[in-house]
């Protein structure tokens, strides 16, 4: 599976690979978010401020990664659409 990132050309990775990466990262994001909601939030609040900040920074970075992957997917779709016109 080819990995996509901010510098990846849309032609370098398949749509299926992008979908797999987005799905995996969204599953991770869902798990991370579950730890800071509901009853688990009490445990989060008991963590020291530095750990809370690092945890939230990691969640934010993961969300940006998903956004970037969607950008690559969108570019890829635009390229395919322009080639078929």
Count of beta carbons in the 10 Å neighbourhood of residue 63: 15
CA angle (51, 61, 1) in 5-degree steps: 125
For 16, other C-beta atoms within 10 Å of its C-beta total 9
pTM, to two decimals:
0.75
The three-class DSSP label of residue 64 is helix
Tell me the per-residue pLDDT of 26-83, one tens digit each, with 9 for 90 and over. 999 999 999 999 999 999 999 999 999 999 999 999 999 999 999 999 988 887 766 6
Residue 9 has pLDDT above 70, yes or no: no
């Amino acid at each position: 599976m080819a990995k996509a990132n901010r510098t990846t050309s849309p032609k370098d990775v398949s749509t299926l690979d992008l979908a797999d990466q987005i799905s995996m990262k969204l599953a991770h994001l869902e798990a991370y978010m579950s730890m800071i909601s509901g009853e688990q939030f009490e445990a989060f609040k008991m963590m020291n401020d530095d750990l809370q900040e690092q945890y939230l920074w990691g969640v934010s970075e993961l969300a940006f990664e998903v956004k970037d992957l969607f950008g690559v997917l969108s570019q890829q779709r635009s390229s395919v659409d322009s080639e078929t016109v």
